[in-house]
Amino acid sequence: MEQLQAFWAGIPDLSGMAINLGMTLAILVIGWAISSLLGRWMRRIADRSPRIDPTIVPMVRSVTVWAVRIVVLLAVLARLGVQTASLVAMLGASALAIGLALQGTLQNFAAGIMLLVLRPVRAGEFVAIGGQGSGTVDEIGLFMTRFVQVDGIHILLPNTLVWGSPITNYSRNKTRRLDMMLGVRYDDDLEAALAALQALVDQHEGILADPAPQVMVMEYRDSTIMVNIRAWTPADQYWDVYFDLHRHAPQALRQAGLRSPIPLREVKSVPAPVEKDKAAHA
């Protein structure tokens, strides 16, 4: 009986192990689900609130979700009896080694933080990255920034290229200035051309009255006087106004009785010289 009792005492408590394993699994599943719900909740709140910049939502969501998941994993390991203190130290050493091996990736992460803090670009803005391309900013991630070109093609650029390149932001200001050059013949009525174009821009719905649009002579070329239209439009209507003016400005000049400018060359005929001996013989 004593040997039998010793044998049973040496067998692990299977019921306790099952309970511990079940609780560990429950912590893992519930913690993972909470992190996912927290990420969706943050995105939903950001979509509903106009005060939250949508540019920072993807990065903050990713950092929050994975921070919760790391805590859950540490809690699971502690439940299983693993010494988390030594594990954290080992993870720190591993992180240092990985950081040295992935310096470029960490530079992209740091550049992404700078893009979010200083915000030279924001989601929904149309920008041009010097030498890299142009498009509408769709998302600034931890390591990559996604743009959508006007033809619908997606461009992914490392954050270091975005941060380290000249950025031209076409959407940050509410208004943009439009410049358009047209040619008028020298022998046409210049004042009539200026008046017709001025009436066109003054009556256009997409052109702002303040600052007032201007029509002015800019330069003189071989056979053409160059006239410049300078007007301010809302940034979101710039291209609509641009294409509309290119369509109606030539029509306004033709209705005013002006002709389309074409290159002109004056050709003179010079009589051939008469040879002296032929003239003497005659």
Instruction: State pLDDT tens for residues 243-266.
Output: 999 999 999 999 988 887 776 666
Cβ count near 184 (within 10 Å): 22
Mean pLDDT of 132-144: 86
Q: In what order do the strands lie in the sheet with 175-185?
A: 175-185, 224-234, 214-220
Q: Work out the burial of residue 127: count CB atoms within 10 Å of its CB; fewer than 13 is exposed, 13-18 middle, 19 or more buried.
A: buried
Query: Using CA of residue 86, residue 87, residue 92, residue 93, what is the dihedral sign?
Result: positive
Domain with CATH 2.30.30.60 in the chain: 109-169
Query: Using CA of residue 130, residue 109, residue 151, residue 249, what is the dihedral sign?
Result: negative
The CATH number, out of the four listed (3.30.70.100, 3.30.465.10, 3.40.109.10, 3.40.50.720), of the domain defined by the range 175-255: 3.30.70.100
Length of the chain as a residue count: 282
Q: Are 259 and 185 in contact (CB under 8 A)?
A: yes
Backbone angles phi, psi at 51, to 5 degrees: -85, -15
Using DSSP, state whether 269 is helix, strand or coil: coil
Reported as a single tens digit per residue, the pLDDT across 67-112 is 888 888 877 777 777 666 666 666 676 666 655 555 567 788 888 8
Whole-structure pTM value: 0.59
CA distance 178 to 108: 36
Which H or E run contains 116? Answer: helix 103-118
Mean pLDDT of 7-13: 52
The CATH number, out of the four listed (1.20.120.1200, 3.40.605.10, 3.90.1150.150, 2.30.30.60), of the domain defined by the range 109-169: 2.30.30.60
CA distance 207 to 232: 6
Domain with CATH 1.10.287.1260 in the chain: 12-101
**Domain range 12-101, CATH class:** mainly alpha
Indicate the DSSP class of residue 236. G
Domain with CATH 3.30.70.100 in the chain: 175-255
Q: What is the pLDDT of residue 147?
A: 93
CA distance 101 to 107: 12
Which H or E run contains 81? Answer: none
